A and B are shown apart, each in its own frame.
Chain A
Amino acid sequence: MAKPDEKLSPVSTFLWEGHSTRDYVIKLMQTSQAEYGYIPKKVIKDISAATGTPETDIYGIISFYKQFRLEKPGRHVVKVCDGTACHVSGSNMLIDQIEEDFGIRPGNTTEDGVFTVEAVACLGCCSLAPVVMIDGKVYGKLDASKVKRLMKRIHRKTLKEMKAEQESN
């Protein structure tokens, strides 16, 4: 296999390094998701061809593991921790507040594409409970009004950015 063009997806770079056996299927999907935020259909076909894994099996793996997405997420992924410590400290209040403000429950993306909200089992910073993680950054010791302010601020800023991008196109 020839070395792939630099512009190609990280998946092909990875494959080029010789990692084309079945036990790399999950790693390949993780690489794709890190790059695109989800696993596009095209990538499923590529992984299938490269590793000899049936596409149905790949779908099976995607639906089994919580990490994988088949749809493009919003600009900001909001992970509301619902681990035990956060749960007993009121994470449901945060989830209800987000629904009130943005009209979505965990597992969904806002119509404007700004937020994808997910409930996750434990982010492992229990002493800061209840916490949310937005794009990898942890915000701790929250309550309903703090999460409201935080997300409204990000929302306003993102809409502005999106508008500016549209105009420049």
Chain B
Amino acid sequence: MQKIYVGMATCGVSAGADAVYDRLKELIEKENLPFELQETGCIGLCAREPIIEVRDEDKGESAFYVQVDPKKAEAIVQAHLEGKKADEYLMDEAEYQQYYGKQKKIVLRNSGLINPHSIEDYMERDGYKAIEKVLTSMTPEQVIQEMLDSGLRGRGGAGFPTGLKWKFARAAKGEPKFLVVNGDEGDPGAFMDRTVLESDPHSVIEGMLIGAYAIGASRGYAYIRAEYPRAVRHFNEAIEQARAHGFLGENIMGHQGFNFDLRVKEGAGAFVCGEETALIASIEGYRGVPRTRPPYPANHGLWGKPTNINNVETFANIPWIILNGAQAFASMGTEKSKGTKVFALAGKSKRTGLVEVPMGITINEVVMDVAGGIVDDGKFKAVQMGGPSGGCIPARLGDTPIDYEKITATGAIMGSGGMIVLDDKTCMVEVARFFLEFTQKESCGKCIPCRVGTRRMLDILTRITEGNGEPEDLDTLESLAKVIKDQARCGLGQTAPNPVLTTLKYFREEYEAHIYQKKCPAHQCLPLVTFTVDPEKCTGCTLCAQSCPSDTITGAPKQVHYINQEGCIHCAGCFRVCPDDAIIMD
């Protein structure tokens, strides 16, 4: 029987996948059609959601349809009933090759292929085989050695070797030991962890089981952002199933003395809780304020007990490494960065979505090949990596490989996997201001360099984008950045200046244009933009004149209008309201 899979992770549902699913269900049930309907997770190419796949397992064939709506779904079902394909809605073959061709799926090995509600689906694809192998043939020390050999590094962003972290946690004294998965994915524009939790929750649970065995942990927490209700739901459901199958609980899989159970803790909307000591405070029920390290959580974590915290993506890698061997993993990537990395591609690229690429691939390959370049034939200007802790890498450094050290050398960081593509319509000063506003708001306020320093930097950046920048501002920004980096207590503060420092390094001329010429080269900082009417396009509809709050637009109906620059307050109201794109921003 043919199976129809509907991609129903958050991006699919946001684009309308649930309506497609409902329509298909109705059709199949009402007419008793020979299709099996399944929900699946993220198929990856968010830009073309909702995506459905019609899979014929007997023939080993499958067809992907993009931007499906309930009506198209009917046509697709009809075509397959007749043994054909609905050609006009198929995913473009070239696009499929470009997008998926360079990808290598380890973390996303099941994402979009299995029904995330079904533990049986996961088990059919070697699920829970890795923990079985570990329990029957490996000592905890061997598991840790395997991780060290694989070269796997923390995917949360800092890149600390996972095997080493486990070694410390195993050596730490104290009972019980805790194992935590950090799913507090807070970088704006990053949704890798959410997708894994939604699309393949059991891979994270299995990774945690292997970790628990290696370090000797008996209790676990999954700290997941409250903004991810679907991920929380799927993960809770997976925990229940794993318990029912004896993968969680006491004497797991008959292994005497191996006990581990797991509970979800929802975050409550605080970016700083991604920092591990803040995360611990939050699980304990306090304000998520970081504390000074050492002592590290490995020795002094949850309730003072040894605690090991890894990222969602890190855990999802682990079962694959156990089953395929450390060497298979280490054979991919660069000297110090092994395996693959998942990125959430967003911004101004033609294709956006979730990609998993081998380490060592260049930024250009990701942006120009996988993502297909820039929308509207725009110019590739930079990629923002690492969110508020990261920085902007300019297009001219596009041959930089994806590698922890190489990315850090540019001034950005690998980060958790947010990759925002920027084009020439994006103002880099405004991007820096945007991230500083974010970190300033999210600063917990405990230490002065971060609390006051980010505020001062934000004030200066805001002033520059409003056209009131002064020549000495750039030096002040640089010296403030240095103080904050050196003296802030936790990672949030220490990395907060990165977006400013990288844009100052690579796009200094844009800052100077704002300060000296009072111009925004990208025409994005409204106080620095001149609004005029394009006489060719203006139809004299009068909407702009009606909406202008300072009554500075004149013109009779059906005649070209005119904006008097003296009275313009740069609100862009005319631009927003114009139905004919006749307002020029320069």
Contacts and interface: CB of A to CB of B under 8 A. Distances in A.
B186 interface: yes
A124 B576 contact: no
B83 interface: no
A65 B346 contact: no
A122 B287 contact: no
A53 interface: yes
B420 A85 contact: yes
A28 to B, nearest CB: 9
Contacts of A67: 226, 268-269
Contacts of A84: 188-189, 346-347, 384, 387, 418, 420, 434-435
A99 to B, nearest CB: 10
Interface stretch (A5-13, A108-116, A138-146, A156-164): A138-146
Interface in A13-46: 21-27, 29-30
A85 B347 contact: yes
Nearest to B526: A92
B346 A85 contact: yes
Interface residue tally on A, bucketed by range: 35 or more
A84 B269 CA distance: 17
Contacts of B285: 21-26, 53, 61
Contact of A128 (B15, B189, B573): B15
Contact of B346 (A93, A127, A138): A127
B361 interface: no
Interface in A44-65: 53, 57, 60-61, 64-65
Interface string B398-427: 000000000000000000001010100010
Interface residue tally on B, bucketed by range: 35 or more
Q: B47, B191, B353: which has the most chain A beta carbons within 10 Å?
A: B191
A102 interface: no
Q: B188, B265, B270, B573: which has the most chain A beta carbons within 10 Å?
A: B188
B188 A83 contact: yes
A150 interface: no
B49 A127 contact: yes
B227 A124 contact: yes
B576 A144 contact: yes
Nearest to B445: A64
Contacts, number: 139
Contacts of B226: 30, 67
A88 B187 CA distance: 15
A93 B576 contact: yes
B14 A88 contact: no
Nearest to A24: B285
B572 A124 contact: no
A145 B578 CA distance: 9
Contact of B287 (A22, A24, A64): A64
Nearest to A93: B576
B532 to A, nearest CB: 18
A101 to B, nearest CB: 11
Interface string B424-449: 00100001001100100000100000
Interface in B1-45: 10-11, 13-15
B10 A124 contact: yes
A66 B189 contact: no
Interface in B313-364: 344, 346-348, 352-353
A120 B347 contact: no
B284 interface: yes
B271 A121 contact: yes
A68 to B, nearest CB: 7
Contacts of B347: 84-85, 88-89, 126
22 contacts: A22-B284, A22-B285, A26-B285, A53-B285, A61-B286, A61-B287, A66-B270, A67-B226, A68-B269, A83-B188, A84-B189, A85-B189, A85-B346, A88-B422, A96-B572, A97-B576, A100-B547, A122-B188, A124-B194, A125-B15, A127-B353, A128-B15
Interface of B: 10-11, 13-15, 46-47, 49, 186-191, 194, 226-228, 265-271, 282-289, 344, 346-348, 352-353, 384, 387, 418, 420, 422, 426, 431, 434-435, 438, 444, 547, 571-573, 576-577, 579
The 4 A-B residue pairs with the shortest CB-CB distance in the complex, in nearest-first order: A126-B346, A83-B188, A66-B269, A127-B46
